């Protein structure tokens, strides 16, 4: 395959996969009750391959690894930091087993769950080393692209990008943040604006930027348009299937595959190059999104 950057720079629109956690909950519920989602990598890697295959069959051209919380700082909450390398290696191998050369493998790297000083107790050096350790494995195992995602602190996101760039100058990097709508516009919970994210993530070394999680697809159209005001790089949008509502203690996401697919043209017109899903999205959502992209 051509590199993912070659394809998006020619204005081709690619389709990513959808939510990982909800499928893991349905397939490995007992394991998830006792531990983090990354523990499934050690206990039942065949489930990871099955999920990757489901998204590939639905039309996803980019399939993520189950490594969102795979940094040692995050894994230490579950006493799994010593398993960092194995957890990340297994995740890449499982996706490759399912997709082979039919889709790009995206190495997922989420926030550490810790706060940098002065708001928290973590030194920047410690956070950098944590991301470096995880990302080094993902790159060595051969991911096609790195996705630094769901970030709310610009400084944490920049440390992850710096770690990745210190390991590889050529690995494509997607960096996304999660925004909330406020009376003053869209901001992360740490106060980061779309303008600040667009400019600083790219300046740090990301090749693509955008947003994931926290919003349904209608808000994501607005977020994409705002990003396009401040950057010309390829944009990535992975929206939730709406905001969840609790029904009998279970979160239910209201946006149907058809509803999300109807907004694909708006995202494309806003300049989005990669469209996928986040919380609440399923292979059926991705199938509908792929059909809408193909129709355009």
Q: What is the pLDDT of residue 130?
A: 98
- Going residue by residue through the chain (296 aa), what tens digit of pLDDT does each one get? 899 999 999 999 999 999 998 899 889 888 887 799 999 999 999 999 999 999 999 999 999 999 999 999 999 999 999 999 999 999 999 999 999 999 999 999 999 999 999 999 999 999 999 999 999 999 999 999 999 999 999 999 999 999 999 999 999 999 999 999 999 999 999 999 999 999 999 999 999 999 999 999 999 999 999 999 999 999 999 999 999 998 887 889 999 999 999 999 999 999 999 999 999 999 999 999 999 999 99
Instruction: Report the distance separating Cα 261 and Cα 259, nearest Å.
Output: 5
Domain 4-295 CATH assignment equals 3.20.20.330 = yes
Instruction: Report the distance separating Cα 140 and Cα 197, nearest Å.
Output: 28
Handedness of CA 220, 221, 225, 226 (dihedral sign): negative
Q: Give the CA distances from residue 285 to residues 18, 184, 246, in Å, rounded to whole numbers and listed in that order.
A: 8, 31, 20
Q: What is the pLDDT of residue 176?
A: 98
Match 């190059």 to its residue by tokens.
273
Instruction: Report the distance separating Cα 49 and Cα 55, nearest Å.
Output: 10
Cβ 276 vs Cβ 62: under 8 Å: yes
Q: What is the pLDDT of residue 247?
A: 87
Handedness of CA 233, 138, 34, 113 (dihedral sign): negative
From first CA to last CA, the distance across the chain in angstroms is: 22
- pTM score, two decimals? 0.96
Write out the two tokens for 225: 């348009």
Bridge partners (DSSP) listed for residue 173: 146
Per-domain residue ranges for the chain? 4-295
| Three-state SS sequence of the chain | CCCHHHHHHCCCCEEECCCCHHHHHHHCHHHHHHCCCCHHHHHCHHHHHHHHHHHHHHCCCEEECCCCCCCHHHHHHHCCHHHHHHHHHHHHHHHHHHHCCCCEEEEEECCCCCCECCCCCECHHHHHHHHHHHHHHHHHCCCCEEEEEEECCHHHHHHHHHHHHHHCCCCCEEEEECCEEECCEEECCCCCEHHHHHHHHHHHCCCEEEEECCCCHHHHHHHHHHHHHHCCCCEEEEECCCCCEEECCEEECCCCHHHHHHCHHHHHHCCEEEEEECCCCCHHHHHHHHHHHHHC
Instruction: Report the distance separating Cα 17 and Cα 6, nearest Å.
Output: 20
User: Beta-carbon neighbour count of residue 273 at 10 Å?
Assistant: 24
Looking only at the bridges linking them, the beta strands covering 104-109 and 62-64 are parallel
């Amino acid at each position: 395959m051509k590199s993912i950057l070659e394809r998006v720079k020619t204005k081709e629109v690619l389709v990513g996969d959808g939510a990982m956690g909800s499928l893991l909950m349905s397939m490995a519920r007992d394991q998830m009750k006792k531990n983090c989602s990354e523990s499934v990598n050690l206990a039942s890697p065949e489930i990871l391959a099955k999920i990757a295959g489901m998204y590939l069959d639905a039309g996803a051209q980019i399939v993520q690894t189950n490594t969102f919380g795979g940094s040692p700082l995050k894994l230490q909450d579950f006493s799994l930091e010593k398993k960092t390398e194995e957890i990340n290696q297994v995740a890449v191998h499982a996706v490759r087993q399912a997709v082979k050369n039919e889709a790009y493998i995206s190495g997922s790297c989420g926030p550490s769950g810790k706060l940098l000083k002065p708001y928290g107790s973590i030194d920047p050096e410690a956070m950098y080393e944590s991301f470096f350790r995880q990302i080094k494995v993902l790159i060595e195992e051969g991911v096609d692209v790195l996705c630094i995602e769901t970030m709310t602190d610009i400084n944490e996101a920049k440390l992850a990008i710096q770690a990745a760039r210190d390991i590889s100058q050529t690995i494509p990097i997607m960096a996304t943040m999660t925004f909330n709508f406020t009376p003053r516009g869209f901001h992360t919970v740490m106060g980061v604006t779309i303008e600040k994210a667009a400019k600083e993530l790219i300046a740090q070394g990301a090749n693509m930027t955008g947003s994931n999680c926290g919003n349904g697809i209608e808000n994501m159209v607005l977020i994409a348009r705002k990003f396009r005001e401040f950057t010309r790089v390829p944009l990535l949008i992975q929206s939730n299937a709406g905001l969840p509502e609790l029904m009998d203690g279970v979160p239910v996401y209201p946006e149907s595959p058809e509803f999300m697919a109807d907004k694909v043209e708006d995202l494309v017109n806003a300049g989005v190059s990669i469209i996928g899903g986040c919380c609440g999205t399923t292979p059926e959502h991705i199938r509908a999104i792929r059909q809408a992209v193909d129709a355009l």
